[in-house]
Amino acid sequence: MMSSYQALYRVWRPQRFDDVAGQQMITQTLKNAIANHNPAHAYLLTGPRGTGKTSVAKIFAKAINCPHSVDGEPCNECEICQEITSGSLGDVIEIDAASNNGVEEIREIREKANYAPTRAEYKVYIIDEVHMLSMGAFNALLKTLEEPPEKVIFILATTDPHKIPATIISRTQRFDFRRISQETIIQRMVLILNEENITFEKEALQLIAQTAEGGLRDALSILDQVISYANGSVTQVAVRDITGSITQELLIEYLQLLYHHDTSEALQALNQLLAEGKEAYRFIEDALMLCRDILLAKAVKSDVAVTFKYAHHTPAFDAIVQQLPTNFLYQAVGVLSQTQKNLKQTTHKEIYLEVATIQLCEISDKNSATATPAGDYEVVDTAAYEEIVHQLQDMQKQLEQLQAIDKVASEPKIVEPKQTLISKNNQEDASVVPNQSEVFAVLDEATHQDRAFLFDLWPDFISQLEVGQSAIMNNGTPVAASPNTWVITFEYKILVERFETDELISKSLQQFLETIHQSQIKIIALTNEQWKNVRENYILERKKLKQGIPVDFSEEEKKEYEQRIQEEEKTKEIINQAVAFFGEDTVKIMEDDNK
């Protein structure tokens, strides 16, 4: 029968405070609190994954309850310590907040916390990933933290302390776990490998520590994989195969190709590395680290000891330190950093790597000579740069037009003739609406549902536009809608004209509607004044048709009729308000015989 295998990080999990790597300040503080019989009722342990938060919490639970503890350290031999280690002691409760994040679970904890511990001196609750609790659960927990029961200690652990309410944090003692240094991780792995009688290469451990990014648990997990992969040994080749890292020699060759503008060879080298299964993000990470180490080697004196994050001294490394100019490296770091950000948001990582390679090959000697460390080193090709300039110029023109409109609109009515040009253009023929019959058709078919649909979609449509177009449409107001047509108003005529002539707005609208509404929608744009007039005309025409009054009134008859209609509308509005205020049974309408 096969014996059960335990991962290295579980076998070598710290059992005493002194075994915890890289967190001496925290462990010493907790040891002193236990030795002096002065523990807090609640602790908050925060920090990156794999830095020892949960391990410290379990050691604390053992040390506070161990009857034979010495200087705050548990003995790990008594029955209490062994049951806590195995997770079988009922007075130490571990909870995963990711799957127990509701109010009911926390209320159950509150109720059980009121009962005294059965075997241990303290009842200890360890809540991992506490930031996953719901707000209601946090509120329930807050009550317990405000008035903690005797002999009960809460230890909250999280990787995201910013998601925890300040009211919870303020009622705990907070300890921030730091990333563990590469040197400390390497020392821990050397200790474990020596105890396990496993051969290793020091450079391989350095690669593992670099990949772990400050997490000892991650380092031991990678180490476990490498041991299995390499049949009981730890070699550089095995680590690179497991992590997708690149050898220093290949990266140096890649940088040399970039510096000599050999785009074809650089792309071929990149594609070969990717074809061998090298991980794209790890490639960028290694290249950045190598650039950092080269810059560091160039900046310090040769007789000063330098700690590299990636590189190690070889003739090839010393040669490239002398070969690459500092400003080329500054620009390379800028391009690689931007590419690293882009890789997190795409599934086509090889495309970004190829683009970055081309950009780096196009860094000219002139650019390298003028670059400075404090700048943004992302390289932009000339065509893209000119396109950006044209866009900015167009936006500037649009802003100037809008500013001119606002200035004219805010000036007094009596101004010089030259200054009234825009205002006149915007106000002339306001009563004339060329597409009045189309607007009438929209109003005939308009429904509340269509109008509500328009109002709901309008902000989403504007958000799809580019800056210049959204600046125009933000000044528009939707006023009416039928199933196939929308009516939008603008304050100024020039904005109506810009809307009608901008093909990008029309194209964007149709694409948006085909996606959301699966239909073609026509938009009629009017000035506010035109909308007011066409709406009044619509009401008048429809009332004439309804009452059988001929449409071809004389001007005098039209004015008299319009005045009477307006008076009737005001009367109806007053009656409606009275009915709404006093009630329909109370209000009685009396006809005026003098009329």
CATH number for the domain that contains residue 435? 3.30.300.180
Q: Determine how β-strand 199-200 pairs with β-strand 233-234.
A: parallel
Structurally, the chain folds into a number of domains equal to: 4
| Contact indicator for 286, 251 with CB cutoff of 8 Å | yes
Q: What confidence score (pLDDT) does residue 44 get?
A: 93
In a domain, 390, yes or no: no
Do 274 and 374 fall into the same domain? yes
Identify the three-state secondary structure at position 112: helix
**Beta strands 522-527 and 173-176: pairing type?**
unpaired
d(CA 164, CA 146): 16
Give the Cα-Cα-Cα angle 209, 201, 289 (nearest 5 degrees).
40
**Is there a domain that residue 438 lies in?**
yes
Radius of gyration of the chain (CA): 37
CATH number assigned to the domain comprising residue 200? 1.10.8.60
User: Is the domain of 47 the same as that of 105?
Assistant: yes
Collapsing DSSP to helix, strand or coil, 341 comes out as helix
> What was the pLDDT predicted at 126?
92
Residue 25: how many CA atoms within 13 Å on its side-chain side? Answer: 7
The model carries a pTM of 0.54
User: Does 412 fall in a domain?
Assistant: no
The answer to whether residues 266 and 213 belong to one domain is no
What is the C-alpha separation between 537 and 528, in angstroms, rounded? Answer: 14
What CA–CA distance (Å, rounded) separates 306 from 91? 50
C-alpha to C-alpha distance for 413 and 393, rounded to whole angstroms? 32
Same domain assignment for residues 194 and 108: no
Helix/strand/coil percent split, the chain, to 5: 60, 10, 30
Q: How far is 164 from 137, CA to CA, in rounded Å?
A: 11
Query: Taking the chain (595 residues) in consecutive chunks of 10 residues, what is each chunk's mean pLDDT?
Result: 66 88 90 90 90 91 90 90 88 84 81 85 90 85 84 90 88 90 88 88 85 85 86 84 78 87 87 79 84 85 62 79 87 88 79 87 59 42 50 57 51 40 42 70 77 74 68 78 83 80 74 65 84 80 60 57 67 66 60 48
In a domain, 464, yes or no: yes
Position 76 in a domain: yes
Give the per-residue pLDDT at 114.
83
The domain in which residue 208 lies consists of: 182-243
Q: How far apart are CA 205 and CA 460, in angstroms?
A: 52
190 CB contacts (<8 Å, ≥6 apart)?
200, 205
384 within some domain? no
Q: Assess whether 203 and 255 both reside in one domain.
A: no
Last residue of a domain, one of 309, 344, 379: 379
- With respect to residue 118, please indicate whether it lies within any of the assigned structural domains: yes
